[in-house]
């Protein structure tokens, strides 16, 4: 018996890179597949081979079974690892692998056919005596079930998917009818199957999942549990292990139920059995994910077991490397999912190019990512940028590590949810572990307010100090004649008032650089002394009153700095270089030439629906259109009562950020 020689990875991004890492440790060669937008990504460069899928949407790239199988055969791969999402739970894909004598790194197609269907998995759980909440399969293409059968609230869920895609919470039959079609469309688009089911919604529940591993010799073990209760819009954003709220008795019952389900289907590979726990301590089987999970890293951290390594060994024909009694837990691990999205705009996906990334440099932190500072953000499928994992001796120390580390994570380009996650970490309810799947929804206002009300005088001083250091003191900055502040002359800088624009607000600053070892500035009559600490690449530590803040920045147009300070984006402009300044001003003029009432796209995406017609009278808040970006549907609402004068796009059109969509006019 020997390990596989070569595998194809039917996925992308950080999970593809994660699989490559384990494969290299075992001496297994890897083949990556990618779209043309992703050709500079690390998961492409670090694989032994890489084959382009071309350009296109999911159905012609990562969901094209025929194309992926052909690439596997042509490259001589013996097996295919599906990662998570995409085709990872598609039994047709697994069956096609088997028919082409390719090992599917996961359970058999028969098990996938059963367990990847959430309703079928629930029926199995019932037959095993495991508690299950009410659920019922529905077919959006035929007549809907009788209203009298429903007890609200209910969740609409995709039968063959996960990750919150297509999931909708409904409180009435009318709301149910409105959202069924949308849920089915998203499920079809993301998982290749639009089948849905409804499930009784358990309020204030906690989400617990058990990691199991099985082999082809009827062995199965668990690696204990994770808690995934911090979710936004049914999407996990913070996961941790173990779930310390569980009593020993409840933990034993949940672990036993997970193993019972795995044994019933002779499960092979890594999988997750998911449960909900209500406020009274009752647990309910929810679903099984027959694949690796996004959050598998927290389990690896507390058990010391490489789950992907085990997947590859089991697929090669080896038994599990461990017995149940070998599994010991050490410490507590928490994972943050960092997404390219804008919390202040209802978490709209942010598709701006990735210009600079500075990751925290702490040995205690594990970072899973496929971004690097030299690539643009070329991802049309998923807004996940990276995962940040901290492991401490207990939950409190893991939270502390994340809070320290996240302050030194600076991403320039797309908006991210980093500040939002940081706000959750500091929330008393989270710190005291008083949480549920409704935590983000219940605390939405305070979490968003803390995110939006982000600019303070302390940050202003650091930004001013950074700008002075960048222009006056940093050696090797560009060409001298391109430096607008050089017009003032270094010797005059102590008394000259310099205009500095930060986020379109102009501040008059007096730099005081007489003592080079103690640079200072005067702002609003207050003198501030600062120094610089560590620096590397695009980031620099600025020290004021013994407090250090790390700032990342890149130059645009010679006199404009794009800055990230404590996960907040800023623009710093030095309005002295007339050519660049006029160029920027010209761009602003061009962007304002459109007629009054113009509605612009807030993001790059595809027009999915247009819900109005020309000359229609609309009210403020009416739905104008739906734009799809990164598999999320974003609703464009009217900002006012108006008449639709002109529609500038069609359904199916690709739109860019700030592109005109609709022109409105006063109808009174």
Last residue of a domain, one of 409, 433, 452: 452
Last residue of a domain, one of 171, 201, 231: 201
Winning range, highest mean pLDDT, from 114-123, 186-195, 487-496: 114-123
The pair of structure tokens assigned to 359 is 């990751």
Question: Terminal CA-to-CA distance of the chain, rounded, Å?
Answer: 80
How many domains would you assign to the chain?
Answer: 5
What CATH number should be reported for the domain holding residue 526? 3.30.700.30
Q: Are 438 and 430 in contact (CB under 8 A)?
A: no
Residue 268 is predicted with a pLDDT of: 96
69 and 165 housed in the same domain: no
Rounded CA Rg of the chain: 27
Which has more pLDDT, 367 or 158? 367
Cα diameter, the chain = 84
* Strand pairing class (103-104; 79-81): parallel
**Mean per-residue pLDDT for 365-381?**
70
Q: Are 381 and 62 in contact (CB under 8 A)?
A: yes
pLDDT tens column, 49-102: 999 999 888 889 999 999 999 999 999 999 999 999 899 999 999 999 999 999
Residue 581 is predicted with a pLDDT of: 27
For residue 49, give the 3-state DSSP assignment: strand
Instruction: Name, in order, each residue with C-beta under 8 angstroms of 581's C-beta and a sequence gap of 6 or more.
Output: 559, 573, 575
% of the chain surpassing 90 pLDDT:
54
**Mean per-residue pLDDT for 258-281?**
96
Residue 331 is predicted with a pLDDT of: 97
Which has more pLDDT, 116 or 231? 231
What CATH number should be reported for the domain holding residue 41? 3.40.50.20
Q: Are 466 and 535 in contact (CB under 8 A)?
A: no
Tally helices (H) and strands (E) across the chain.
17, 38
222 and 181 housed in the same domain: no
pLDDT tens column, 396-455: 999 999 999 998 898 888 889 999 999 999 999 999 999 999 999 999 999 988 766 666
Residue of 291, 313, 337, 550 marked active site? 291
Residue 583 is predicted with a pLDDT of: 32
**Mean per-residue pLDDT for 378-383?**
66
Winning range, highest mean pLDDT, from 268-277, 554-563, 642-651: 268-277
Residue 187 is predicted with a pLDDT of: 80
Q: What angle do CA 394, 400, 404 make, to 5 degrees?
A: 150
Q: Are 541 and 530 in contact (CB under 8 A)?
A: no
pLDDT tens column, 531-552: 999 988 889 999 999 999 999 9
**Mean per-residue pLDDT for 358-374?**
82
What CATH number should be reported for the domain holding residue 168? 3.30.1490.20
124 domain residue, yes or no: no
**Mean per-residue pLDDT for 216-234?**
96
600 and 621 housed in the same domain: yes
Which has more pLDDT, 375 or 294? 294
625 and 579 housed in the same domain: no
**523: Cα separation from own chain's centroid:** 39
272 and 318 housed in the same domain: yes
Residue 452 is predicted with a pLDDT of: 67
127 domain residue, yes or no: no
Residue 594 is predicted with a pLDDT of: 35
Residue 632 is predicted with a pLDDT of: 66
**639: pLDDT confidence band, cut at 50, 70 and 90?**
confident
Residue 526 is predicted with a pLDDT of: 93
**Mean per-residue pLDDT for 116-131?**
90
**Is 472 buried (19+), middle (13-18) or exposed (0-12) by CB count in 10 A?**
buried
Which has more pLDDT, 583 or 634? 634
Told to judge if 206 belongs to the known catalytic residues of this protein, a careful annotator would answer no
The pair of structure tokens assigned to 341 is 């999205």
Residue 68 is predicted with a pLDDT of: 98
399 domain residue, yes or no: yes
Residue 477 is predicted with a pLDDT of: 39
Residue 478 is predicted with a pLDDT of: 37
Which has more pLDDT, 659 or 541? 541
Residue 457 is predicted with a pLDDT of: 66
Which has more pLDDT, 231 or 115? 231
**379: pLDDT confidence band, cut at 50, 70 and 90?**
low
160 pLDDT more than 90: no
Q: Are 186 and 202 in contact (CB under 8 A)?
A: no
What CATH number should be reported for the domain holding residue 633? 2.40.50.100
The pair of structure tokens assigned to 191 is 């998982």
% of the chain surpassing 70 pLDDT:
88
Last residue of a domain, one of 553, 585, 617: 585
309 and 356 housed in the same domain: yes
The pair of structure tokens assigned to 95 is 């069956």
Domain that holds residue 391: 204-452
Residue 164 is predicted with a pLDDT of: 67
């Amino acid at each position: 018996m020997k390990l596989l020689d070569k595998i194809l990875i039917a996925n992308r991004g950080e999970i593809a890179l994660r699989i490559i890492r384990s494969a290299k440790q075992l001496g297994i060669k890897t083949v990556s597949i990618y779209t043309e937008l992703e050709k500079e990504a690390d998961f492409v460069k670090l694989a032994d081979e890489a084959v382009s899928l071309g350009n296109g949407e999911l159905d012609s790239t990562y969901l094209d079974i025929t194309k992926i199988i052909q690439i596997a055969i042509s490259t001589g791969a013996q097996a295919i690892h599906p990662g998570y999402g995409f085709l990872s739970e598609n039994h047709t894909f697994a069956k096609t692998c088997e028919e082409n004598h390719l090992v599917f790194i996961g359970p058999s197609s028969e098990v996938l056919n059963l367990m990847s269907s959430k309703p079928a998995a629930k029926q199995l759980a019932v037959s095993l005596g495991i508690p299950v909440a009410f659920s019922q399969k529905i077919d959006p293409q035929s007549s809907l079930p009788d209203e009298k059968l429903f007890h609200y609230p209910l969740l609409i869920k995709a039968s063959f998917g996960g990750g919150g895609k297509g999931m909708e919470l409904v409180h009435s039959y009318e709301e149910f009818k409105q959202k069924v079609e949308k849920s089915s469309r998203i499920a079809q688009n993301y998982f290749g199957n639009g089948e849905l089911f409804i499930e009784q919604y358990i309020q204030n529940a906690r989400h617990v999942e058990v990691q199991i591993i099985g082999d082809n010799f009827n062995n199965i073990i668990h690696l204990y549990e994770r808690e995934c209760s911090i979710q936004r819009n049914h999407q996990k954003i913070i996961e941790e292990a173990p779930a310390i709220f569980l009593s020993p008795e409840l933990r034993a019952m949940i672990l036993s139920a997970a193993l019972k389900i795995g044994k019933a289907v002779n499960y092979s590979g890594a999988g997750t059995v998911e449960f909900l726990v209500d406020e009274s301590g009752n647990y309910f089987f929810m679903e099984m994910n027959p694949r690796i999970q996004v959050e598998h890293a927290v389990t690896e951290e507390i058990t010391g077991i490489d789950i992907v390594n085990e997947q590859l060994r089991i697929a090669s024909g080896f038994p599990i490397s461990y017995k149940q009694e070998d599994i010991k837990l050490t410490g507590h691990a928490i994972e943050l999912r960092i997404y390219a999205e804008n919390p202040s705009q209802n978490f709209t996906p942010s598709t701006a190019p990735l210009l600079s990334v500075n990751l925290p440099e702490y040995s205690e932190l594990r970072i899973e990512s496929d971004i690097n500072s030299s690539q643009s953000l070329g991802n049309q499928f998923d807004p996940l940028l990276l995962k940040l994992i901290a492991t401490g001796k207990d939950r409190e120390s893991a939270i502390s590590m994340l809070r320290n580390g996240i302050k030194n994570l600076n991403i320039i380009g797309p908006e991210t949810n980093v500040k939002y996650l940081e706000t959750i970490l500091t929330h008393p309810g989270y710190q005291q572990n008083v949480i549920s799947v409704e935590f983000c929804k219940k605390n939405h206002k305070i979490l968003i307010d803390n995110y939006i009300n982000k600019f303070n005088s302390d940050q202003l001083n650091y930004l001013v100090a950074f700008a002075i250091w960048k222009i006056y003191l940093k050696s090797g900055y560009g060409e001298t004649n391109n430096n607008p502040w050089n017009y003032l002359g270094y010797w005059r800088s102590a008394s000259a008032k310099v205009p500095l624009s930060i986020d379109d607000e102009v501040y008059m600053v007096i730099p005081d650089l007489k003592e080079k070892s103690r640079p200072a500035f005067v702002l609003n009559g207050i003198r501030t002394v600062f120094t610089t600490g560590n620096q590397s690449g695009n980031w620099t530590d600025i020290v004021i009153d013994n407090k250090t803040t790390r700032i990342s920045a890149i130059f645009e147009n010679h006199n404009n700095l794009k800055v990230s300070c404590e996960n907040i984006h800023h623009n710093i402009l030095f309005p002295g270089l007339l050519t660049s300044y006029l160029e920027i001003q010209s761009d602003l003029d061009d962007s304002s030439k459109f007629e009054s009432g113009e509605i612009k796209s807030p993001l790059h995406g595809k027009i999915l629906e247009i819900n109005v017609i020309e000359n229609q009278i609309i009210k403020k808040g009416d739905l104008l259109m739906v734009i799809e970006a990164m598999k999320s549907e974003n609703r464009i609402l009217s900002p006012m009562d108006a008449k639709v004068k002109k529609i500038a796009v069609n359904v199916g059109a690709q739109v860019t950020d700030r592109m005109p969509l609709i022109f409105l006019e006063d109808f009174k």
